[in-house]
Amino acid sequence: MPLRRRAMQVIDDLSQANLNCDTVLTIGAFDGVHRGHQHLIRQLVREARRTQRLAGLITFYPHPNAVLFPYNPTCYLTTPGEKAALLERMGLDVLAILPFDRKMAQTPARDFVEMVCRHLHMAELWVGADFALGRSREGDVAALRAMGRELGFTVRVVEPLTWRGEPFSSTRIRSLLLKGRVREAAELLGRYPSVSGEVVRGSLRGRCLGFPTANLRVRPERAIPADGVYAAYVRLGEERYQGVANIGVRPSFEIAGERLVEVHILDFEGDIYGCDLVVEFVERLRSERRFERVDELVAQIKRDVAQARRILAEEERVSRPNRS
């Protein structure tokens, strides 16, 4: 008799798990939940269903690199909440988001694996060929297989999915975003790159120009595209609108302003201060530039809006898959 599917259980301490059967697990950062991650997780979920086990994933926050290499700031493709929502849609039964700190970094691989087996009843561990865990990455595939023979689990190595001859990777996606290449980032993610945040009050300059904008409060550690103007979709609750997004310091108004994400929602009127928006970046229109005269800026914004409408109309006409 198949296991009854329940809502995904989310825990931040392995001892919180209350499981009544064995699990098929994977472990990693999974930032962005890109197509390479999806390739592994879908196979894992299918195997869990076939063997009447639970499908589980262990990840960490903050990202291990933020702790191990604090001098090199870590930018996230997804917040923990966004990651959890994406993973639940893929059919996971258990998600552990464990705090990562110096103590965790120094945990011997054997100790961590024993804890996972004790609390999550791990029967299978699915990893990539270069996977390793524990202090000084001592728990590589060979070591894990040796532990598995003692502790009663198997290790399955999943071959990486590649794009243009290279494996999918979160680092690669961050690099594309830094260059404003959101189309290519979308190919790797399997959806539009996005940011989410609360709408906050701005200077109202956009409204004075005839193009009111929603200014987003975005977490400072969030990976966002390069400064510039983008054709975008805007999600507000269950509704999706077309929009033109600007990322940058607004050089026509500021000398050395704060870097902002703001979006003009096309054909929309309403007070959305305090609401949470998701901005999905579809295509970069141009770089940010300074205009000496207001009429020049307004004329350019009109061109941006017209170009964004054309791009988004074509986007909807061809109904590109895996972007929602």
Residues 6+ apart with CB under 8 A from 198: 216, 217, 274, 275, 276, 277
CB-side neighbour CA atoms (13 Å) of 8:
23
- Buried/exposed code over 284-294 (b: 16+ C-beta within 10 A; e: otherwise): bbeeeeeeeee
Q: How many helices (H) and strands (E) does the chain have?
A: 10, 16
* Residue whose token pair is 């561990």: 125
From first to last of the 324 residues of the chain, give the pLDDT tens digit. Answer: 566 668 999 999 999 998 999 999 999 999 999 999 999 999 999 999 999 999 999 999 999 999 999 999 899 999 999 999 999 999 999 999 999 999 999 999 999 999 999 999 999 999 999 999 999 999 999 999 999 999 999 999 999 999 889 999 999 999 999 999 999 999 999 999 999 999 998 765 655 566 889 999 888 899 999 999 999 999 999 999 999 999 998 655 554 557 889 999 999 998 999 999 999 999 999 999 888 888 989 999 999 999 999 999 999 988 654 554
Model pTM score: 0.91
Closest CA to 280 of 248, 322, 220, 318: 322
Q: Strand, coil or helix: what is 3?
A: coil
Q: How far is residue 82's CA from residue 34's CA, in Å, rounded to a whole number?
A: 12
Q: Is 316 exposed, middle or buried (0-12, 13-18, 19+ CB in 10 A)?
A: exposed
CA dist 164 and 130 (Å) reads: 20
3-state SS assignment for residue 208: helix
Taking Cα atoms as reference points, which of 81, 94, 103 lies closest to residue 44? 94
- Taken in order of first residue, the domains within the chain and their CATH numbers are 9-166 (3.40.50.620), 193-318 (2.40.30.30)
